[in-house]
Chains A and B, each alone.
Chain A
């Protein structure tokens, strides 16, 4: 009951954020975005036809009425049909969302898990060559552009100039074997790029926890290292770790895969949204932007509840 009250209160305080994100995005992407009138008209259109199309698209309405209409669409989750293909927006997202998720989840999970393991190893051997080696590699990882990693991995793994093991581009999820062959190279690239930043962040968090008094005390009482790391250190580091992981989810879902999707020709949400911006497909844009904002508010809520779960001292107020 207390938790439910908390959730409702938190959702209400998320409203200003929702309004801000939708307002700025609406202004930029829809109000100042590309004008579709003349693409939808035939040659030599009369003034009436132009007016009719503009009316259909809602261009003749004042700014705030259009924004209010958008908010109404957001609440009812009815965004209409895509201007470009005529497909219902919900159908379009329903089709592309699973592809993006299937593409990005393995890399995201592995990138964080491996980073935590490396960070623990580096922190355990703090100051020794193992630590310096791991941290050296993470600086190198941080310094290589994602774009270069994608192209290099593609040359090395999927072209005839390299090992030629995987398909160069495209997407196919019909069988698990197909899925694996298409997802491997994007996943390796994502893991490679995220490892550098993640390892550094997690190591800093872990080292800070290691220097606390309670860890020294536990060590003095002879707690074995494995137990010390799991129970006294890792568990106490969960709050910054959870924050980082959960807050990167909304961005990973929407735009994290944009570069991979456009480079590998994978029809996911990132690609669809990018195309919608460049062609001015407003219904799609409105849906994606609104969804991102909602995901952010949800992420805040979920982190707060998880804080409570990992640390009983946190109270939900």
Chain B
């Protein structure tokens, strides 16, 4: 639906304008490039192209940086560079699943609540958001991890259950605004069923909010994953930057910082790029943003 601005008749739509604005935003383009590189790294690790020896002992304890071990080795002689690369895959898995599902749930419930605002459906949706927002996040995750008996997806479930409320609140507000517009009234008048109005006529018009919120949720998810994995509540199988930092706390006390620095740097660059990408997206899509 985007990129059609090159058509013979130049149309001025939200998307064509957004693409034009984004293509002129230098910080946005750089951040998009960095995120793309990370995505390729994650896909490659997922497809087994690189970082296949992340769990193998390939060297001695705490070996320094060399051409063989780009970031040195950790306490038991595993290659830190490979582990950091492999963790990228875990991060994208968590971020993608959580961002996609939390945004979908939020869009669905927010749209329904907004469309029926003032009715009991809205009241229940608002009550649910209020309740979930009032439970301390880390305790909620710990509780879900126990309730699901150490299921590897306990962390995902907890994050989706907490993150959808923000999306839902924003979509609800936008839907309340949209539903009083003439085109919705016209749809009502010609007898379009309510469910079609919500999902075909109103919800697609909130897509720009969903896109921006999706990127924000992605960042929140990967930042939470690191802390949860550190606390022992997050990733159970495989490797993640949080687990690397957790391993490294002992090494740091002994004066070996490679593991900590590698995981921190990978995480920082990705989150920073994603934040900037999200900002550029917001600037491109929201003409009113200051």
A16 at the interface (CB under 8 A from B): yes
- Interface-centre pick from B144, B223, B226, B290 (highest chain A CB count, 10 A): B290
Contact present for B134 and A277 (CB under 8 Å):
no
Q: A17-B130, A151-B249 are in contact. Are A25 and B242 (CB under 8 A)?
A: no
Contact present for A145 and B147 (CB under 8 Å):
no
- Nearest A residue to B132, CB-CB: A24
Contact present for A274 and B138 (CB under 8 Å):
yes
Query: Would you call the interface of chain A mostly helix, strand, loop, or mixed?
Result: helix
Contact present for A255 and B137 (CB under 8 Å):
yes
- Comparing A47-55, A181-189, A204-212, the segment that makes contact with chain B is A204-212
Q: Of residues 130 to 156 in B, which have CB atoms within 8 Å of A's CB atoms?
A: 130-132, 134-140, 142-144, 146-147
Report the Cα distance A142→B138, complex, angstroms. Answer: 19
Q: A25-B143, A147-B230, A293-B134 are in contact. List 8 more A-B contacts (CB 8 A).
A: A29-B146, A139-B276, A142-B271, A145-B268, A151-B245, A204-B290, A274-B139, A278-B146
Report the Cα distance A199→B279, complex, angstroms. Answer: 15
Proximity string of chain A (19-56) to chain B, C-beta cutoff 8 Å, 1 when within and 0 when not:
01100110111001110000000000000000000000
Report the Cα distance A159→B242, complex, angstroms. Answer: 22
Q: Which residues of A contact B134 (CB under 8 A)?
A: 17, 21, 250, 292-293, 296
A273 at the interface (CB under 8 A from B): yes
Report the Cα distance A218→B255, complex, angstroms. Answer: 59
Contact present for B227 and A254 (CB under 8 Å):
no
Contact present for A254 and B146 (CB under 8 Å):
no
Q: Which residues of B contact A5 (CB under 8 A)?
A: none
Q: Which of A140, A147, A211 contacts B242 (CB 8 A)?
A: A147
B117 at the interface (CB under 8 A from A): no
Binding site for B on A (CB under 8 A): 16-17, 20-21, 24-25, 27-29, 32-34, 139-140, 142-148, 151-152, 155, 159, 161, 204, 207-208, 211, 250-251, 254-255, 258-259, 262, 273-274, 277-278, 280, 288-289, 292-293, 296
Binding site for A on B (CB under 8 A): 127-128, 130-132, 134-140, 142-144, 146-147, 223, 226-227, 230-231, 242, 245, 249, 252-253, 255, 257, 260, 264, 267-268, 271-272, 275-276, 279, 290
Q: A143-B272, A143-B275, A151-B260 are in contact. Are A21 and B135 (CB under 8 A)?
A: yes
Q: Which residues of A contact B242 (CB under 8 A)?
A: 147
Contact present for A146 and B227 (CB under 8 Å):
yes
CB distance from A304 to the nearest CB of B (A): 14
Contact present for B230 and A25 (CB under 8 Å):
no
